[in-house]
Amino acid sequence: MPIQRPTPAFHLAPALAGERSLSPTLYINQRVKERWAAGETIYHLGFGESRFPVHPKIRAALIAHADARSYLPTLGIPELRRAVADFYTKYMGVDATPERVIVAPGSKPLLYAFQMALAGDTILPTPSWVSYAPQAQLLNRPVWQIPASPGDEHRLTVEALQQTIAQSAETQHILILNSPSNPTGQMLAPDLLAGIAEVCRATNTLVLSDEIYALTSHDHTPHVSISQFYPEGTVVLGGLSKHLSLGGWRLGVAIAPTGAAGQQLLQAVVKIGGELWSCVAAPVQYAALTAYGDDPEILGYIAESSRLHMARTQHLWRGLCELDIPCARPEGGFYLYPNFDGWRQALAAKSIHTSDDLARHLLDVWHIASLPGTAFGAPAKELSLRLSSSYVDMEDDAQAAALLALHRSGVDAEALVRDHHPALAGALTNFRAFLASLHE
């Protein structure tokens, strides 16, 4: 007779307890997989991952260091910290020095560790990337969202920042900025950054400046780092996931603020990293040394990938504009954030009242996967969606390599997008049909 044991009931930690429905991101990804498995065509504008091939020199460096198996310093190997500092100084407009650099398995754990290391409430622009608010919640830290509206393309203003900080009773705050932005693709202009820096200095607000899309900025807008205006109060974050398509290799970097306070903060993060992840995988650190090594071939590859991201993203934006869908022009990265509030009445007639409803409807009826604005902190009733151009027509590695080869054979980026992107074209056709269905 098997022994009957009672089923244990383990209680979750308070930050994770309570009823939670499946997140919209998980829901969309799960549904897309199911429908692909059923042989359906789905235009996946919901998934944001840069998918160009690993650069051969970086792959060779990883393989050459496969035997590097010892633990390394939590801060990273000194030569990599130096390479990162030089790279950021030369190409990213950040006046960096090696002793302020830390590397970690992705910028995501670094964002978490810096929030964990600091006292104070978290202040977030609206909309902002999906993980910032949940990370703060895991740390039981209040989050203040800076309100913004689709009417002015969700622009962040100094006044709105000031008003939001004033609501928090804390004497210290953490502001997370992200330029170029996921989800809007917009960048923060230098005069705005200068204004934000002034407010932050006056209110004892530390900036976590997530600049992971900096090297994917589009031709019409150069990237500027807020650290130029606020070096003593800015942590700059980045990594290899976006401009070199190496998300799964897990290499993130951060550059701590200048001065003694910056060093103290960095030491606190090293303590957290030492207890949580120990170090970045050794072969990945050596491969990163090549990635940050100022090699003209790799810099050329970064520029080439970014040009293609730009062409694909701007093409999608132009397509939305032709349909009169309000959407800020993306300035970097591969995201767009269109708004459908203008169709509110017609959508309500189809029982679509929230961005979650809208994302589900587009997927279920029109085969377009997107993410609802709620995933980015937008109010449920604001009918905004995040679209990503990074996945369509590059659904597998062979397609990504083939597009790159076509481009290298002389097909310019515009022609490549126009003539060799059937899924992007299909998505735009379905957006047109969806809007037409609202007038029936």
CA 102 to CA 80: how far, in whole Å? 9
State the minimum distance, in angstroms, from the CB of residue 386 to ligand PLP: 10
CA 341 to CA 338: how far, in whole Å? 10
Torsion angle (degrees, nearest 10) of CA 346, 347, 351, 355: -160
The count of C-alpha atoms lying within 13 angstroms of the C-alpha of 281, restricted to the half-sphere facing its C-beta, is 14
Per CB under 6 A, 126 contacts ligand PLP: no
Phi-psi region at 438: left, alpha or beta (left = phi > 0; alpha = psi -120 to 50) = alpha
Phi-psi region at 216: left, alpha or beta (left = phi > 0; alpha = psi -120 to 50) = alpha
CA 277 to CA 113: how far, in whole Å? 11
Specify the stretch interacting with ligand PLP by CB under 6 A; choose among 91-99, 101-109, 192-200, 399-407: 101-109
State the minimum distance, in angstroms, from the CB of residue 439 to ligand PLP: 35
Binding mask 22-51 for ligand PLP (x = CB under 6 A): --------------------------x---
Per CB under 6 A, 182 contacts ligand PLP: yes
Specify the stretch interacting with ligand PLP by CB under 6 A; choose among 100-108, 169-177, 340-348, 406-414: 100-108
Specify the stretch interacting with ligand PLP by CB under 6 A; choose among 104-112, 158-166, 284-292, 374-382: 104-112
Torsion angle (degrees, nearest 10) of CA 131, 134, 138, 144: 120
CB atoms within 10 A of CB 366: 17
- Which residue spans within 23-69 are E strands per DSSP? 43-44
State the minimum distance, in angstroms, from the CB of residue 224 to ligand PLP: 17
Between 148 and 212, name the residue whose CB sits nearer to ligand PLP.
212
Per CB under 6 A, 106 contacts ligand PLP: yes
Helix or strand or coil: residue 323? coil
Q: Are strands 368-369 and 205-210 parallel, antiparallel or unpaired?
A: unpaired
Q: Token pair of 248, please?
A: 């799964």
Residue linked to tokens 């995988």: 281
Per CB under 6 A, 150 contacts ligand PLP: no
State the minimum distance, in angstroms, from the CB of residue 178 to ligand PLP: 5
Which residue from 184, 234, 241, 355 is in contact with ligand PLP, where contact means CB under 6 A?
241
Which residue from 126, 135, 178, 285 is in contact with ligand PLP, where contact means CB under 6 A?
178
Per CB under 6 A, 247 contacts ligand PLP: yes
Amino acid residing at 58: I
Give the residue from 425, 436, 423 showing the smallest Cα distance to 324: 436
Q: Residue with the closest Cβ to ligand PLP?
A: 106
State the minimum distance, in angstroms, from the CB of residue 263 to ligand PLP: 23
Specify the stretch interacting with ligand PLP by CB under 6 A; choose among 239-247, 262-270, 353-361, 413-421: 239-247
Q: Are strands 143-146 and 173-178 parallel, antiparallel or unpaired?
A: unpaired
Between 168 and 182, name the residue whose CB sits nearer to ligand PLP.
182
Per CB under 6 A, 107 contacts ligand PLP: yes
Per CB under 6 A, 292 contacts ligand PLP: no
CA 432 to CA 153: how far, in whole Å? 22
Per CB under 6 A, 390 contacts ligand PLP: no
Per CB under 6 A, 210 contacts ligand PLP: yes
Per CB under 6 A, 209 contacts ligand PLP: no
CA 4 to CA 425: how far, in whole Å? 59
Sites of contact with ligand PLP (CB under 6 A): 48, 106-108, 129, 178, 182, 210, 212, 239, 241, 247, 252
